[in-house]
Chains A and B, each alone.
Chain A
Amino acid sequence: MKKLFAILLVAIMLLTCTALAEFDKSIPDGTEFTFWHSFSGVNEEVLKKQVEEFEALTGYKVDLQYIGGYNVIHTELASANAAGSGVPALTVINVPRLTSYTTDKLVEDLNPYIAAWPDEINFDDFYPGMTDMMQNGGYQAALPFGQSGQIFFYNKTLMKEMGIEFPTKMEDFGDWLKKVYEYTGKPALDVHGTDNAYFYCLFTNADAFMIDVATNTTGLASDNALNLIKDLRSWVDAGYIKWVDTDVSNTLKMDFTSGACAAVLFTSSSYANYKDVAEKGQNGVTFEVGIGNQPVGISGRNEQYVAGATLIIPSNPCNTQAQKNAAFKLICYLTAPERQLEWVHASSYYITRKSASTDPQYAEAYAAVLADLPEMAVLDLNVYVAKTKHELFDKCGDIFEQYMSEIMNNGMDPEEGWETMCEEINDTLADK
């Protein structure tokens, strides 16, 4: 029995060694690699500082390059990949790109890296909704970094003055919009109308999904979706909602911080900026900024989808395994709870680590974040789930947002628009 146990033990050890041997963990001293990012201003300063700290700690050399927005990075990355040279070992990319990157294996599967450095990455400490969104069929394409979500900013001072709360259920939403509109004589809410990501949650929480993978047709072809579209249109017609579809970012900021609307549905990463402008009264009105999560829809859920900047390691062989390993080490460093808290504090992106808000060793840093950004505590990061992973999701999303704009702002009949939209999405899905 002892012999058998010893043989088994040796066999297990050999198998483990063989498995580990398949992944070359080595990183020679002084390894150099390139890291592309999309951050500017304060965010870039913090990133630079953290990268410099990493270089001092490890002796690796990071060529940190600002490339531009996510679309520019995508174009540059895809072009460099096609050319087979100039591909960075590490880059930031936004969540929606990950599905096609995974399908085409443009990025490394991070699972072997996670297995090779389990303690350094502490994978289970990430919010699962965030990491789920970044994997496809078990292929971990990215890890969370500068994540954001689709949330409501509202004028907390006004709500206190009116003696009402921001609604937490969709069924109360209409009443809230009406009350605010009647009180202020201005739209209660500005909605970001050119990116479906912002209003899509309202639909999924009503059980209407963009793509029904089983039938390869759109799930928006449902009564729930139509009813919601009709509700939104009636609120737009009544002046309760302003559907903003041009120069959106500037308009939302100006409308909200100047008191031209009481709330906006936009990206959570604008929190620090909105708060700063509103509290200083830079646009003529001084008020406290509140944050509201997505309201619970008729499905009984208030799910959201994580967006923003993820970290990926491109698979292109123009970078050596050692460079890729060093890049993963930087991921480990940047996503560690202490760095994440520093990052969150500066950028108002989401906290991606569970321990950052629960572990006593980070209590002081977390308290400092909440002291400056108190509404961060309102965010429910457990409601984040993975969105449908489909290569044509974005293409369908474009059609969705275009029709929504037509219905909300250009007088298109809701039912007619909805029907044509579903037909066009279905044609797109059939054209894979």
Chain B
Amino acid sequence: MKKTKPMVINGRQVNIRPEKYFWSDFFLVLPAVLLLLLVTYYPVAELIRISFTDWRLTMTTAPEYVGWKNWTWLFTAKTSLRYLTNSLQVTLIYTVCNITIDLGIGLLLAHLFNHLTKPFAFMRAMIFMPRYIAMSSCGIIFLWMLNTDYGVINKMLEWVGVTNHINWLGDDNLAMVSILMLTGWHGVGYCMMIYLSALLGISSDYYEASSLDGATGLQQFRYITLPLLSPTTLFLFITTFISSMKVYQSVDVMTSGGPRNKTAVMVYYIYDLAFNDNRIDRSAVTALLFFAILLIVTASTMRVTNKNVHYEA
């Protein structure tokens, strides 16, 4: 039995395994590291390389090095600036709304189910169920439901007196709402479940003690539940933020970026450049820019919000 070496890290004493084990540990993690390098970092490096070439998807000759040409195009060409600004704006609007819907409604539902008795568990399952269905299938179902003339939504609105059929997917303002309806329906159950499990982890002692001190339900929610849910909120915020920024399938199935690019999110624009315009080179620079934006925003969010997260009750 080898002795461990005591060491002080962040004021705590921890036992470090002897140096002898360093190489065996290294070789144990090596396959995973290699796999990560191959499937994650190599494609990123390749993307950077492609961004300096003139690679069109359909070309049969080898792409040539073109220097900063694609980067110059990205920041100076009229068309690029027009579509890039629009896509960033659309993506941001979608992200803010989707986070609000998923986290907001998810939290409310979790709070509700936390107080409901066991027989209501099936409702919880019903709300979580859409998560199991592929987004493309959900998109097709919503496409039918939202059909202007034959969709069930407009038929239901007819029953309550809205006889003027709403063009859900063709209207400039409603197309994004329609997509949010779909992704919200699809994602809210997941947030609800995560919040619910976090709520179950909060000791009832806090609520009992605060009740004795005369705290109202709203005050308990504001001063006990919300702070103790902050690590969960941060986790859900970051994951929902990243998945919202990368939204694609729902847009592709339901609106194809329309009407007039009003739902053309960043990933859709990147895909469009690569596979409709066949411009892998331009798609690569746009993807890299998007990657940088995502990285900066996520890192800043974590830095800012970490200060308000309470990990220990």
Residue positions of A touching B, CB distance < 8 A: 71, 74-75, 78-79, 81-82, 100-101, 103-106, 194, 245-247, 250-251, 254-255, 260, 315-316, 394-395, 402-403, 405-406, 409-410, 424, 427-428, 430-431
| Interfacial residues of chain B within 228-278, with CB under 8 A of chain A in the complex | 255-256, 258-261, 275-278
Whether A100 contacts B60 in the complex (CB less than 8 A), given A247-B147, A251-B147, comes out as: no
A403 vs B261: C-alpha distance when bound (angstroms): 10
Which 8 A-B residue pairings sit nearest by Cβ, starting from the closest?
A: A246-B169, A104-B58, A78-B57, A402-B260, A246-B170, A427-B78, A104-B59, A431-B79
CA distance A428 to B146 in the complex (A): 33
The answer to whether the Cβ of B225 comes within 8 Å of any Cβ in the partner chain is: no
What are 19 A-B pairs at a CB distance below 8 A?
A71-B275, A81-B60, A82-B57, A100-B56, A100-B58, A245-B259, A246-B169, A247-B147, A247-B169, A250-B144, A251-B150, A315-B60, A406-B259, A406-B260, A410-B171, A410-B172, A410-B260, A430-B78, A431-B78
**Interfacial chain B residues near A254, Cβ < 8 Å:** 149-150
Interface residues of B in 96-144 (CB under 8 A from A): 143-144
Contact at B275–A74, with CB atoms within 8 Å?
A: yes
Give the CA-CA distance A407 to B109 in the complex, in Å: 42
**B82 interface residue (CB < 8 Å to A):** yes
Partner of A395, one of B144, B256, B277: B277
Complex interface bits, B283-302 against A, C-beta within 8 A gives 1, otherwise 0: 00000000000000000000
B94 within 8 A of A: no
Residue of B nearest to A411 (CB): B172
Known: A251-B147, A255-B149. A101 touches B82 (CB 8 A): no
B15 interface hit (Cβ, 8 Å): no
Q: Which residues on B sit within 8 Å (CB–CB) of A395?
A: 276-277
Query: Digit string of B171-185 for contact with A (CB within 8 Å is 1, else 0)?
Result: 110000000000000
**B195 CB contacts on chain A under 8 angstroms:** none
A-B contacts besides A100-B56, A246-B168, 6 pairs, CB < 8 Å? A82-B57, A103-B58, A104-B56, A245-B259, A247-B169, A402-B258
Q: Check A410 against B60 for contact (C-beta < 8 Å).
A: no
Q: A-contacting residues of B (Cβ < 8 Å)? A: 56-60, 73, 77-80, 82, 143-144, 146-150, 167-172, 255-256, 258-261, 275-278
- By a CB distance below 8 angstroms, the chain B residues around A402 are 258-261
| Count, A-B residue pairs, CB within 8 A | 95
Q: A246 and B275: CB pair below 8 A?
A: no
Given known A-B contacts A106-B60, A255-B149, A260-B149, A394 and B144 have beta carbons under 8 A apart: no
Give complex CA distance A420, B58 in Å: 31
Which of A247, A260, A409: most chain B Cβ within 10 A? A247
B60 and A316 contact, CB distance less than 8 A: yes
Instruction: Give CA–CA (A247, B149) in the complex, Å.
Output: 10
CB pair A75–B260 under 8 Å, yes or no, is no
- B residues within 8 A CB of A255? 149
| Interchain CB contact under 8 A, A246 and B148 | yes
A250-B147 contact in complex given A78-B57, A106-B58, A394-B276, C-beta closer than 8 Å: yes
The listed residue (B171, B255, B278) touching A100 by CB distance below 8 A is B278
Bound-state Cα–Cα, A430 to B80, Å: 12
Which residues on the A side are within 8 Å of B169 (C-beta)?
Answer: 246-247
Chain A residues with CB under 8 A of B255: 246
Whole-angstrom CA separation of A245 from B144 in the bound complex: 14
CA of A350 to CA of B172, assembled, Å? 37
Contact B143 A247 (CB under 8 A): yes
How far, in angstroms, from A222 to B59 measured CA to CA in the complex?
35
- Bound CA–CA A58/B56 (angstroms): 38
